[in-house]
Amino acid sequence: MRELTDRELHQALEYARSIDDEAAEKIIERFQIDQTALAQTVFEVFPSVIAERDQDMAILFMSLCFDVLCVFQDAFGPLPSQNETGVDWLERQAVLLDAEFQAMMTDPHMDGKIRNKLQDRFLQRSIEDTPQMGLVRFMNVAVDDFASESPNRVTVTRTTQIMLFVVIRLLGNLYNMYNHYDMK
């Protein structure tokens, strides 16, 4: 998958931000039908982890995930359905990301050398997978800006940014794996 140019990213974000409530509902419903497990992870599991520490940040996370979903659909076309990917696609992705994801969460029980090695592997694989780094940067700035409004939110900033990165990477992997982005 190619990286979106700044112009393409800006246009896709403008599209995402211009969607009315009715259209947004339809997009989310379609996502829940086409990619049930991924939709549950993105809009239920991840936000619940964030909400344990800050409810407002969890709401922002869901809003930004919606923007990410819209950016991918606007730039690369419709998502492949779970019928195409198989029900176990998300599980396979989770296995690939799990150790690296844990390393990014700075588990105090993990050996520092192992954590550094896993973080390096995570970053290397991320570069190789060519995620949408412009989109990642935009999302990180949005989270930082929101966190700056309240000291309580700062503690969950890194977790939120990592989860957004994972969502972007999962969607990128999904489109890469099924080459759906050529259809648009």
Q: For the segment 151-179, what is each residue's pLDDT rounded down to a tens digit?
A: 989 999 999 998 998 899 889 888 887 76
Q: Which pLDDT band, with edges at 50, 70 and 90, does 130 fall under?
A: low
Asked whether the predicted pLDDT for residue 24 surpasses 90, the reply is yes
The residue whose two tokens read 């989860």 is 163
pLDDT computed for residue 184 by the predictor: 46
pLDDT computed for residue 10 by the predictor: 95
Asked whether the predicted pLDDT for residue 124 surpasses 80, the reply is no
Asked whether the predicted pLDDT for residue 47 surpasses 70, the reply is yes
Q: What is the pLDDT of residues 85-104, one digit of tens each?
A: 777 776 777 666 665 566 55
C-alpha 16/C-alpha 71 separation (Å) is 6
pLDDT computed for residue 100 by the predictor: 56
User: Amino acid letter at 152?
Assistant: N
Of the candidates 89, 25, 69, 95, the residue with the CA atom closest to the CA atom of residue 164: 69
User: Amino acid letter at 118?
Assistant: L
Look up the pTM and report it. 0.82
C-alpha 124/C-alpha 54 separation (Å) is 31
Q: What is the pLDDT of residues 73-87, one digit of tens each?
A: 999 999 888 777 777
Q: Which pLDDT band, with edges at 50, 70 and 90, does 18 fall under?
A: very high
If DSSP codes are grouped into helix, strand and coil, which group holds residue 6?
helix
Paired tokens of 173: 């992997």
Least confident stretch, 11-25, 54-68, 124-138: 124-138
Residue 56 burial by Cβ neighbours in a 10 Å radius (0-12, 13-18, 19+)? middle
Q: Which pLDDT band, with edges at 50, 70 and 90, does 181 fall under?
A: very low
